[in-house]
Structures are given as structure tokens and as C-alpha cells.
Chains A and B, each alone.
Chain A
């Protein structure tokens, strides 16, 4: 059947997997029940385990179970490959892999585990590179389930994802399981995503290269949650976790977009003392913070908080007194990770607090302004951040669907990338529905969602910010690159895109080669 963003969702998938088709971005006030998890009572002694094989045995891992990991080490992760290799070696079969996301450094091991039959189901925020290619070519029988960070939190709470064993790499821990990510060699700052696993998994295993004296504080993961602690030689490569400090782009096109995004923000009603914002880590989105800083100083406006994945430029605003608080679920560079140890106003939050639609109020609901990127955006303002121009999985939902519920959601994207149009008639894959997108900013001008009459009025006469309809921007892009031939897919689904409430918003099919 067709869902509300006009995507054909196969009836057998709705039935088999008990899905509802996507209806609305309004969450409302449904009642939900959180699942409980099993606790094997411990006095806290003897948690320290010598080796990965030994800890796998102690957790009671069995075929068919669900295992989880986090992706805070990003491209510097050693833990996933160490643990997964051992699980493959021991011949486990039919496991569900439920990490917070998958980074490139994990790709080959995941493919190996699928080929060995060790992994038969995957749920993730996204995937790219060789793994995205493998899955898009039908490498896994069961379609991958892709969820936003907020939706993963929701799914863990309500039992859609039931984690049997969580393997969580940490830069430090004491022998009883108190851990944080702000000290040690491989610091990554906020442990945001992994805090859900620590809270809800039946068995929680910490892997660290640095054992601290008891009690190890501040503790982000607490000893009450942890079953075992394993000492490993090295949890990650600090140089690959994040660059020193995310740099500002010098690309004139991105700078122009950033400048225009800033104009949109500062001419909206939300730009006033106490406003809040989230910027991503993309080139243009990041450069916005530089323009925003100037405008804030000029108008004597301070922000109440900055949210989301945090970079050093955001921390600089905090230290300058232009931002009162940072709510930090993840750090994109070393500068942001390191500052968490020193800034009490940089608050670590878990992914439920950050973005979960089914709790008693997440931080994204308090957000005024949000700047997001897009691989594609269509004339209905629907956004694709998942499949590339060849139809292959190469992205992640991340917090896109969640943060898009800000009062002013801005998509910053170039009109075209090389020969590929960003503004199109229909996106390949709908990830974030157009209903939650307010303004598109490109290097040639902006388009405002027609339902935001207030913004159309507020932004119609801003110098240097030409306003177009999104159809005009689409035609302009097509005039530059030409009309592409439609991508060809088989009828076999390889990935299911959930909306943040767990309904099905789109299906990704196997590519035809």
C-alpha cells in the first residue's frame, strides 16, 4: 500500500513484520510500556575477565541472540572487529547485530560474519562503503532495519530491539564497571548512544585498555549495570576517532550556503535571546556557527543550549559565553571530546534524552533551529540521507528524522554535486518526511515549505537571499545536469527505513546491475 509520503510499502512486509505504514510526523501522547531486562545478581567481585573468548562464554551467548556495539570510536574502532572475529571463530550462528551504527572500519568483518552465517539480521542507523554495497546487492537475506538514534532508543525501551549481550568499548573502567569516555588514550567524550545498551541489555560487557582504581568517577556507565570488564591491548586509534578540531570549510560554495543559512536563522522569529540550535558536522552546516557567532555578538543574543553531535566550534561558543549549555550525545572531534572533562556545562545525554519520540520529552522537542544536510531533497521537501545516486546504501539516518522536528529545520545542500542533482522530483529513498522540513538553502537561493506561510513572509525581502519555489530549484538543477535515467531495482527489499515512531516510511530494493 501507499503510505503518506507516497511510497509503496509491500503488504507482505507490513504483515510479516507487523509494521504500520508511516502516517504522520505528529507523535501525540500514546501510552507505551518499557520492557524489563534480566539481571544476574553479582556482589561486584570477579567481574574482571582475562580474555574475549572467556567473556563470551560467561555471557551465555547462544545462537539466535541479539548482540550490540556502539560506534563512538568511529573509524578508530578496534573493539568491534576483535569481538566479532572471536564470535565468528566460535561458530555462533543466526545472531542479530544491533549496533548504534556501523562505520567503515567494521565493514569487512560484518561481511565476513554474514558469509559465515554468524549474522543473519542487522539493525543499524546506517551503513556505507563495501558493506552498503554488499547489502544493496542482496548480500543478506533478511532486509536490514534502519532506525534513527531516537528510534533506536525507543525500540530498545519497548523491546523491538532486545539486546542479549552488549559489548561496549570504553577508554577506561574500574574493575567493577564504572566507566567514562573522557580519560584514557582513546577518549571520545559523550557515551550517549551506548548508555542505552548499558541500561537495557541483559548482559553488559565493557572492554577497555585502561583499568582505573575503584571508584572510577565520573561514571557514565555505572557498576550497577555491568556484568564483566575485559582488559584488551587497545580499544581504538585516537587519531581515527576524530580529527583534532573540525576545520571550517574554505569551499566558496559551502561558505555561501552557510552565510545564507545564517541569514535565514537571524531573520526568523526564533533568533532571540535564549534560542537553541543544532548544527551537523558537514562543511556548510559547520561554517554556519562562524556566521551565527558574529550575528549573536552583534545583536547581543545568547543561546540557551546547543544540541546533538558536538564539534570544537560549538564548544568555543560555550567557552565564549555565547551558549549557556551543551547537550552532548556524541562528539565529532577531539576538541569537543576533550572539553567534556573540563566543562560542567557540556552535559552528556543518552540517545533517549536526545531524541526518543516515546519518552516523557526529549531534547529535540525543545529545539528551535536545526541545520541538516541531504543527499537528495525532492519537491515535496522529503529528504534522502541513505541511498546514493546509484541507489546503493551509503549513509545513516543518525538524528536526521529526530532533529528535523525543530521549530525551524533547515536543509543546507548544494543544488548539484558534480553531475548529480540534489534537488529532484522524487528522492530515491524517503528518510525524513517533507512535513518536518521548513527551508532548503542552496548556493543559488532558498525554498520555503509552502505550509510555513510565516517564514515565507519573514524571509521574502532578505538581501542576498533569493527565494524560489522548490520546483524552480529542481528545474534549475535539471537544466544544469540534464535528465537522469531512472535507477533500476529488483523487487527484493534489502533495507527497511523506519520513521522515528517505528512505522515504515520507505523500502530500499536490491540494485540491478
Chain B
């Protein structure tokens, strides 16, 4: 799936994560996390796996994490992907399921 334009999801509140997705070449993840030392790799894995599930191969991911749980990270990233790919009205049920 292609990123059509820059899109944002999430907030900078405690326990949330804010994603900004924009066009890029290859998958580039720029993560700024309060819990980088303990969970940085885990967060990157959640992001990479989910992007792969959607078949997104070219994207710049900017993530500002305020200690979000994995479920929150997934929810915010899905919202950002749907917005960036203009698929809000055609959710990818296979990934969501």
C-alpha cells in the first residue's frame, strides 16, 4: 500500500503515542520514546510488523511515545495508516482481525 500524503494520529498525552506518517523510500522509523531503554526495540517491532501487515514498503514514520502500551501503539498506527492511505472508509479487515 502507498502513502498518499502526510497524516497524523495520536496525542502527546501521557500513555499515548503520536504518529506522523509521510512519503519516503524504504521504511524509516524515527522513534522518540520515554521508555526507549526498556521498550524501544519492542515498540519498533510492533511498528515494523504492522507496516508489513499492511504491505507498506515506503514510509517515513515519526513516533513520539509517552509510554503507550502495545495496544495503543497499534491503534494509533492503524489510524495513521488509514489516514495516510485514504482508506478510512475501507478498513483492512484482515489486518484488523
Nearest A residue to B41 by beta-carbon distance?
A: A485
Nearest B residue to A513 by beta-carbon distance?
A: B37
Q: What is B's interface to A at a CB cutoff of 8 Å?
A: 14-15, 34-35, 37-42, 66-70
The verdict on A419 contacting chain B, using a C-beta distance below 8 Å, is yes
Across the interface, A420 reaches (CB within 8 A) one of B38, B42, B70, namely: B38
Cβ of A389: which chain B residues have Cβ within 8 Å of it? Answer: 35, 37-38
A481–B67 Cα gap in the complex (Å)?
9
**7 examples of A-B residue contacts, CB within 8 angstroms:** A418-B14, A418-B34, A418-B67, A419-B15, A419-B35, A419-B67, A419-B68
Cβ of A484 and Cβ of B69 under 8 Å apart? no
The verdict on A41 contacting chain B, using a C-beta distance below 8 Å, is no
For the residues of A in contact with B, the DSSP-based class is: loop
Q: How large is the interface on A (under 10, 10 to 19, 20 to 34, 35 or more residues)?
A: 10 to 19
Q: Which of A390, A391, A417, A419 has its CB near the most chain B CB atoms (within 10 A)?
A: A419
A-B contact count (CB 8 A): 43
Q: Of residues 375 to 408 in A, which have CB atoms within 8 Å of B's CB atoms?
A: 389-391
A454–B91 Cα gap in the complex (Å)?
57
A155–B84 Cα gap in the complex (Å)?
63
Closest CB in chain B relative to A251 CB, distance in Å: 12
A487–B40 Cα gap in the complex (Å)?
12
Closest CB in chain B relative to A392 CB, distance in Å: 10
Closest CB in chain A relative to B49 CB, distance in Å: 14
The verdict on A2 contacting chain B, using a C-beta distance below 8 Å, is no
A391–B37 Cα gap in the complex (Å)?
10
Q: Which of B34, B35, B37, B39 has its CB near the most chain A CB atoms (within 10 A)?
A: B37
Closest CB in chain B relative to A78 CB, distance in Å: 32
Cβ of A482 and Cβ of B15 under 8 Å apart? no
Closest CB in chain A relative to B35 CB, distance in Å: 5
Nearest B residue to A418 by beta-carbon distance?
A: B67
Cβ of B37 and Cβ of A418 under 8 Å apart? no
Cβ of A484: which chain B residues have Cβ within 8 Å of it? Answer: 35, 38-39
Known: A389-B35, A419-B15. A482 touches B70 (CB 8 A): yes
The verdict on A1 contacting chain B, using a C-beta distance below 8 Å, is no
Closest CB in chain A relative to B74 CB, distance in Å: 13
Cβ of A419 and Cβ of B37 under 8 Å apart? no
Cβ of A480: which chain B residues have Cβ within 8 Å of it? Answer: 69
Cβ of A391: which chain B residues have Cβ within 8 Å of it? Answer: 37
Cβ of B67: which chain A residues have Cβ within 8 Å of it? Answer: 417-420
A390–B38 Cα gap in the complex (Å)?
8
A485–B37 Cα gap in the complex (Å)?
7
Cβ of B38: which chain A residues have Cβ within 8 Å of it? Answer: 389, 419-420, 484-485, 487
A338–B69 Cα gap in the complex (Å)?
44
Closest CB in chain A relative to B41 CB, distance in Å: 7
